[in-house]
Structure 1
Amino acid sequence: MTMCVALLIASEFMPVSLLTPIARDLSATDGMAGQAISISGLFAVVTSLLVPTVASRFDRRQVLASLTALMLASLVVIALAPNFATLMSARALLGVTIGGFWALSTATVMRLVPKADVPKALGVLYMGNAAATALAAPMGSYLGGVIGWRGVFWALVPFAAFNLVWQWRSLPRLPRQAPIPARHVVALLKRPHVAVGMAGVMLTFGGAFATFTYLRPFLESRTDPNLPQLSALLLALGVAGFAGTYAATAMVPRHLYRMLRGLPLALAAVTLLLLPTGHLLWAVGCTMAVWGTLNSAIPVTWSNWLALGVSDEPEAGGGLMVAAIQLAIMLGAALGGFLLDHVSIAATFAGGTALLVLASLAVGNGRRLQGARGTRGTTDA
């Protein structure tokens, strides 16, 4: 499952490191190419809301394998895409996998390991996120200059095929459970702490991806690195993700709510810091490493809040959270692209910063995120 997460993250956000060559090859603007992330988010939203109901009728192993097969198919179509419309269609197919797999991941982990090991298991799962963030962007940028952006997506195909076989052979049977009506997913929003949590999730991820999606255009316009330097900068961003994931996994049992409030605020400050330091290669490298550390810690904190705050409805809660995250990514990338095309890259970063500050304000001291059951198990509650 961790390998599948790594492949999903690499597939979903590979256009970030290949944004300009994709746009140039398919006769699109950078802002339009950024919508390749938005379209996968749109389909992920719809899928994440529906998959808990559908998946409850089947063996979970079969569902996860089917979703992985869809990812494999989307990679092939992306690599062959003759025009922008085909690329967007393939990205939509990838969005189905993203929404389905992420919606089921927390609930699946909760079925695979003892309750006491869930935070560690989620940390392992998100190491796939960190690994993809560390390697996908710099490798995509470098290999894109060597074998072209299509060759980069072809290179992911055998890994996805291997992971499909590995999942089928390694995951145990996870028999179907009692049906989960689709209304259960949306009904969770009637719980005040869940509604506040989803608002915090959307503002946090929307702010982060309004910036993250357009890091390459920022670097090319402000820092002007050569190809090896660009790859090194993206590598610094990604490798720092390991530190962020590890630190967050260790800290969430005692500082969950402080982290939910503090991480978006710190990320906002670092985002703004990129603007005045953009012309200095070494300063940008250091700042991007800090940015990557903070950004990678965010999914770990929210997944642990989900395991605590919606422990009685993990699949419905997982679907709702993934819908919120993907909708935020879609809107954040769309906002960033609009500001980039019509104002400037500085406006893009300012927009992302504003959303991150609002996220911190929404979380507050964390009391509004604590429901009647299950969310009081952390020291800073």
Structure 2
Amino acid sequence: MSFVLVLSEFLPVALLPAISGDLHVNTGTAGLLVVVPGLAAAVAAPLLTMASGRLDRRHVLLALAALIAASDTLAALAPDFPVMVMARLLLGLGVGGFWAMGAGVGNRLVPPAQADRAASLITAGISAGTVISLPLGALIGHLAGWRTAFLIAALTGLLALLFLAIALPALKPTGAVRPTTLGRALRTPPLALALLATGAVFFGHFTAYTYITPYLQEHAHLGPDAVTTVLLGYGLAGLAGNFLIGLLTRHSLRALAVAVALLLAAAVLLLTATTATPVVIVLVLMWGAAFGAVPLIGQARVMRLFPDAPDAALALLVTASQTFLALGSFAGGLLTDHQGTTAAFAYGALAVLLSTLIPAGVHKAARR
């Protein structure tokens, strides 16, 4: 299901030029289709985690999966931009709830010794969704229009819903998450700083990533077929980065976070200085591999730093990451409209670099 979440959330990234033209808005405004679900998910994650109380997590996850499929269907049929935004708002509610409660399910379905591998497989869906969403969106948008791409996402969501209904066992909640639980988590300095560091990476990444398609078209001067190929390479590199970092999570997660952020920032920043196609391709692959590691590192960090209430830690991680995702996409839209995509990339890289100062500055506080 993590694959479907990412496919649905980031499908517009490959379709911004087509959507903006069809719905008569500029590219920066079309970027709100990434901003809105991010903000909705940020709010929904803690609220739905608390509201679900002691409900069987299987029932909650099935309802959220159905909501995601419905949102993609509405997006495909949207007659104008406001309806499209409403569809993306519904998606955000489903994404926030599903990530907050579903990300930790893998640990409960396997023996403890295989918990890290299960988490890696779940977050691999993020990279797999990235592998599919951008090139699929670019290809189908080119051949059959952006609405068809959303219909395919909706169908994929329905298939995932059917699979979950068949395969997912009853999942009793590990404990009710209350506002006091979230407050206690936020008052844990290492956890709060880890959330801030992860959020800063998301902000910088999505300041640039949301506008990667117009960058490749306008700055790197790549045609539709080349854009699709490069985006496919980005996703595959992300998948490789996820599995590689899954093998290293028993080491210092703070050190891994810094290394990954430096690689990501360097790749994005260097993209502003070149139009040479071979160099652009290599840098995009580096970027994909680096960000492919970010979600798993973030998840592993917060669960280790607040093991008493992992649902609360994950809810706060979703809120932090989705909030900064939305803010980054919004900032990137303003920069793209007024200064061009290279400005969005440069400021995005700077934000990611700044994130490295946070874990480096809490070396004594966060020992895990």
Shorter-chain TM band: over 0.9
Residue pair 1:257, 1:366 contacting (<8 A) in 2 also: no
Point out the more displaced range, 83-92 or 44-53: 44-53
Map of 2:242 onto structure 1: 245
1:81 aligns with 2:65: no
Whole-angstrom CA distance in 2 between matches of 1:62 and 1:301: 28
Residue type of the partner of 1:95?
G
SS of 2:337's equivalent? Answer: helix
Map of 1:370 onto structure 2: 366
**Percent identity over paired residues:** 32
Map of 2:345 onto structure 1: 349
SS of 2:169's equivalent? Answer: coil
- Deviation for aligned residue 1:262: 1.6
Taking only aligned residues, the RMSD between alpha carbons, in angstroms, comes to: 1.4
Q: 1:369 to 1:80 in 2, by over 3 A?
A: farther
Give 1:48-197 correspondences, 5 Å limit: 48-197=45-194
Point out the more displaced range, 300-309 or 80-89: 300-309
1:295 aligns with 2:278: no
Map of 1:325 onto structure 2: 321
- Deviation for aligned residue 1:134: 1.2
Q: How many residues matched?
A: 368
Residue pair 2:107, 2:119 contacting (<8 A) in 1 also: no
1:11 aligns with 2:8: yes
Whole-angstrom CA distance in 1 between matches of 2:175 and 2:139: 48
Give 2:336's match in structure 1, choosing from 340, 348, 351.
Answer: 340
Residue pair 2:32, 2:330 contacting (<8 A) in 1 also: yes
Residue type of the partner of 2:176?
P
Residue deviations 1:69-98, cap 9 Å, x none?
A: 000100110000111100100000000011
Map of 1:379 onto structure 2: none
- Deviation for aligned residue 1:365: 6.5
Residue pair 2:265, 2:353 contacting (<8 A) in 1 also: yes
Residue pair 2:208, 2:341 contacting (<8 A) in 1 also: no
Whole-angstrom CA distance in 2 between matches of 1:262 and 1:286: 18
- Deviation for aligned residue 1:157: 2.0
Whole-angstrom CA distance in 2 between matches of 1:187 and 1:311: 12
1:215 aligns with 2:212: yes
SS of 2:307's equivalent? Answer: coil
Residue type of the partner of 1:175?
K
Point out the more displaced range, 95-104 or 167-176: 167-176
Residue pair 2:241, 2:292 contacting (<8 A) in 1 also: yes
SS of 1:364's equivalent? Answer: helix
Residue deviations 1:190-212, cap 9 Å, x none?
A: 11111111110111111111111
Residue pair 1:193, 1:369 contacting (<8 A) in 2 also: yes
Q: Give the unaligned 5+ runs of structure 1.
A: 376-381
SS of 1:174's equivalent? Answer: coil
Whole-angstrom CA distance in 2 between matches of 1:69 and 1:12: 15
Residue pair 1:56, 1:177 contacting (<8 A) in 2 also: no
Q: Give the unaligned 5+ runs of structure 2.
A: none
Whole-angstrom CA distance in 1 between matches of 2:221 and 2:346: 21
Q: 1:52 to 1:368 in 2, by over 3 A?
A: farther
- Deviation for aligned residue 1:54: 1.9
Whole-angstrom CA distance in 2 between matches of 1:310 and 1:119: 16
- Deviation for aligned residue 1:177: 4.6
- Could you tell me the TM-score, scaled by structure 1's length? 0.93
Whole-angstrom CA distance in 2 between matches of 1:365 and 1:120: 30
Map of 2:39 onto structure 1: 42
Residue pair 1:106, 1:314 contacting (<8 A) in 2 also: no
Q: 1:316 to 1:230 in 2, by over 3 A?
A: same
